[in-house]
Chains A and B, each alone.
Chain A
């Protein structure tokens, strides 16, 4: 694989061709906020928090999806970028009813953590306070649309890793919502395998285990690494005509 060199925040960085900017930045220990991105799932470029400046271009590019190119010069934390990130977080908080004090993920929520990290302590925009339902019809899980930020991690993990495609997004614009099957109660979904992967990847308290109370919910994403590692190394492909599983 060809090695390329680029500059990130005035520092020379080398990487492999095909690496995204985000990968290289993380290798260097440069953190930018991300919400829709999750290693192991297909990139989306929707939350716009990881935008960085590329010198010689007016356009801001999302680091999670932009491949690094030879000779690029990137700025990750300019005043403008920090301001925009803060505003985007404010918009997210204004969109639905995020009330941390009563949330199962209080203290472990990615949205909350990003807001705290950037020092976003209040929202200057109108709270849109939409009337949204909570669906607790599933035996083990519940979805609270008030806390959903439409990152679609659940949709992607369900399609790409579990292969069920129970989740998708309905409607459009600010009226979009994640749905199971034909927008029916989760518990009645016939395609759901109750694997719980969607719950584990959800960055906020929107998807959670039933029975957990304020600040109790823990999310464990190790399974993603196991599954994807296994897939990459073809660990589960049967060899020798099915006599022995490849290990």
Chain B
């Protein structure tokens, strides 16, 4: 049984994360805004995932301490929701919508083609950390089925062939420019500096 939320509002003595990583300031800000309430766990996890791209173990420990929640509780919540990832994501990601409308328009074939081409199961990242293949329940763009999101860009009415070639182009482009992976945290950092 979950512990009842306490009304305790005192921020803990230790301020911030010892590493001094500025991204922890984002988390601290969310914690403060939500008054360190234990009910705010999901909100805080959202902020953490946005800032870091994934929820590393020490991040979960930090959040659990700040909210005074048991570690297993935080871990249980973080693994219950599909939005949270405990592993680092690839430099590029492709989310294929597997909603009903996309499914009847053969989105499964797109997933199969990507799996075969890049040797990665849905929900996983290639061993070299370049590419993550994900599926979504429904992106709510059923009129444009089948839909997928490649690095945040929505692509409509795709076929297996067109998708594979676009992903291949992305990966080739990444090799040329290099160091693309760091960009995940960039917007978050700018936000910290702006404050």
B1 touches A160 (CB 8 A): yes
Check A30 for interface membership: any CB of B closer than 8 A: no
Give 1 or 0 for each of B50-75: 1 = CB within 8 Å of chain A CB.
00000001001100000000111111
Residues from chain A with a CB closer than 8 A to the CB of B79 are 170-172, 183
Interface residues of A, count at CB 8 A? 19
Residues from chain A with a CB closer than 8 A to the CB of B75 are 168, 170, 179, 181-183
Residues from chain B with a CB closer than 8 A to the CB of A180 are 72
Check B3 for interface membership: any CB of A closer than 8 A: yes
Most buried by A among B57, B60, B72, B79: B72
What is the bound-complex CA distance between A62 and B2, given in angstroms?
21
What is the bound-complex CA distance between A172 and B61, given in angstroms?
21
B72 touches A167 (CB 8 A): yes
A182 touches B80 (CB 8 A): no
What is the bound-complex CA distance between A46 and B165, given in angstroms?
47
What is the bound-complex CA distance between A159 and B71, given in angstroms?
12
Check B152 for interface membership: any CB of A closer than 8 A: no
Contact of A182 among B1, B2, B57 (CB under 8 A): B57
B80 touches A179 (CB 8 A): no
Residues from chain A with a CB closer than 8 A to the CB of B60 are 182
Interface size class of B (residues with CB under 8 A): 10 to 19
Give 1 or 0 for each of A182-208: 1 = CB within 8 Å of chain B CB.
110000000100000000000000000
B76 touches A168 (CB 8 A): yes
Q: A42-B1, A159-B1, A160-B1 are in contact. Are A191 and B70 (CB under 8 A)?
A: yes
Residues from chain B with a CB closer than 8 A to the CB of A166 are 70, 72
Check A85 for interface membership: any CB of B closer than 8 A: no
Contact of B70 among A160, A168, A169, A172 (CB under 8 A): A168
Check A165 for interface membership: any CB of B closer than 8 A: yes
What is the bound-complex CA distance between A91 and B73, given in angstroms?
27
What is the bound-complex CA distance between A180 and B74, given in angstroms?
11
Check A156 for interface membership: any CB of B closer than 8 A: yes
CB distance from B40 to the nearest CB of A (A): 18
CB distance from A172 to the nearest CB of B (A): 5
What is the bound-complex CA distance between A171 and B75, given in angstroms?
9
Residues from chain A with a CB closer than 8 A to the CB of B76 are 168-170, 179
Q: A156-B1, A182-B60 are in contact. Are A165 and B73 (CB under 8 A)?
A: yes
Residues of B whose CB lies within 8 Å of any CB of A are: 1-3, 57, 60-61, 70-76, 79-80
Q: A156-B1, A168-B72, A181-B72 are in contact. List 11 more A-B contacts (CB 8 A).
A: A159-B1, A165-B73, A166-B72, A167-B72, A168-B75, A170-B75, A170-B76, A179-B75, A182-B60, A182-B75, A191-B70
